[in-house]
Amino acid sequence: MDRLYFHQIFEPVFENPVFVQGLPGFGNVGKIAAYLLIKFCGAKPFAELYSPSFPDYVSVNSKGICRLPKYEFYAAHMEKNDFLIMTGDTQPSFDDVVAHYVVCNEILDFVEKYGCNFIVTIGGVPITKEEAQVYVAATSPRLATEFMEKGAVIYSKGRIVGATGLTLALAKERGLEGVCLLGSTTGLKADRGAGFAVFKFLMKALGNEVKEGL
């Protein structure tokens, strides 16, 4: 494999879907939140992305079967929103800047094909004390204010590393709107609490209430 490619499982039909991306990172907040959204919506996998920019390891299941690292795309239809959800095993090396740009641009090409005009990326932000917060960065002051009024804290004067930030910034360059939601975490281990907090906030912001027992 010498280039990135998509494997299509089936061709979904969407109506103005929201694209939600959650990948491994600080506290695995993004991946956990994406998994909770997939479970909550009963989303179905419809495509996979493979890239030679991903690390050189394979995942092995309980039966000893190995597979390449990948990103997975899921389709979900809710009463108030259609969702196109992406999560995965890994990200390109942080040292390979070009690979990050290539992969993020290919992802945006793919989701735009399905009519995604609003982007939500999810990640974690490291903190030094226990203080549960959801932070927001956005493609416009209007969106930043809108999500702040719904309970998020403006993430200011910082950096968002990896695909969590880059996908949103590249989307803005294409004229798309969106937000990045960051759950506060110590980042020392997988933080299900932070992932759930971001997932719950996103659902509330989009008009979908979530019960605590999920």
pTM: 0.94
pLDDT for residue 68 is more than 70: yes
The pLDDT-based confidence of 186 (bands split at 50, 70, 90) is confident
Q: State whether residue 31 is helix, strand or coil.
A: helix
User: Does 209 or 103 have the greater pLDDT score?
Assistant: 103
Q: How many domains does the chain have?
A: 1
In a domain, residue 211? The reply is no
- Answer for the pair 20, 86: CB distance below 8 angstroms, yes or no: yes
- Answer for the pair 38, 48: CB distance below 8 angstroms, yes or no: no
In a domain, residue 210? The reply is no
In a domain, residue 22? The reply is yes
In a domain, residue 213? The reply is no
pLDDT digits (tens, 9 = 90+) for 137-151: 999 999 999 999 999
pLDDT digits (tens, 9 = 90+) for 70-79: 999 999 998 8
Here the CATH number for the domain that contains residue 55 is 3.40.50.10900
Average pLDDT over residues 76-86: 91
